[in-house]
Chain A
Amino acid sequence: MDNKELIIQKLKENFSDSIVEISDFRDDLSITIKPNVIFDVAKFLKENDELLFVMCKDVTAIDWATRKNRFTVVYHIYSFKLNFNLRLKSNLEAEPYQIESVTSIWQSANWYERETYDMYGIEFLNHPDLRRMYMPEGFEYHPLRKDFPVLGIPGSLPLPQKPE
Chain B
Amino acid sequence: MGLEAKLTQDGFITTTIDAIVAWARKSSVWPMPMGISCCAIEMISAADPKYDIARFGSEVMRFTPRQCDLMIVAGTVTYKMAQVVRRIYDQMPDPKWVIAMGACTSSGGMYRSYNVVQGIDQFLPVDVYTAGCPPRPENLLNALMTIQDKISKTRARDFQDILPQKLEVETR
CA distance A151 to B112 in the complex (A): 7
- 1/0 per residue, CB under 8 A from A, across B54-84: the answer is 0000000000000000000000000110110
- Interface residues in A138-164 by Cβ distance below 8 A to B read 143, 148-153, 157-164
Majority DSSP secondary structure for residues of B touching A: loop
> How far apart sit A136 and B82, CA to CA, in the bound complex (Å)?
11
Contacts of A149 in B (CB 8 A): 114
User: Is B113 close to A, CB under 8 A?
Assistant: yes
Compute how far the CA of A153 lies from the CA of B115 in the bound complex, rounded to whole angstroms: 10
Which one of A150, A152, A153, A162 contacts B125 once the chains associate, using CB atoms below 8 Å?
Answer: A162
Map CB proximity to A onto B95-131 as digits: 1 under 8 Å, 0 otherwise. 0000000000000000011110100011111000000
Residues of A within 8 A of B160 (CB): none
Q: Which of chain B's residues have a CB closer than 8 A to the CB of A143?
A: 114-115
- Give CA–CA (A136, B84) in the complex, Å: 13
Count class of interface residues, chain B: 10 to 19
Report whether A136 and B80 are in contact in the complex, using a CB–CB cutoff of 8 Å.
yes
Listed residue (B117, B123, B124, B125) with the most chain A CB atoms within 10 angstroms of its CB? B123
On whether A136 and B79 interact (CB within 8 A), knowing A151-B114, A152-B115, the answer reads yes
Separation of A157 and B165 alpha carbons in the complex (Å): 24
A selection of 26 A-B contacts at a CB cut-off of 8 Å is A134-B80, A136-B79, A136-B80, A143-B114, A148-B114, A149-B114, A150-B113, A150-B114, A151-B112, A151-B114, A152-B113, A153-B114, A157-B79, A157-B114, A157-B115, A158-B79, A159-B122, A159-B123, A160-B83, A160-B123, A162-B121, A162-B122, A162-B123, A163-B125, A163-B165, A164-B125
- Besides A150-B113, A150-B114, A161-B123, 10 more A-B contacts (Cβ < 8 Å) are A135-B80, A135-B115, A136-B80, A149-B114, A151-B112, A159-B79, A159-B123, A160-B83, A160-B86, A162-B124
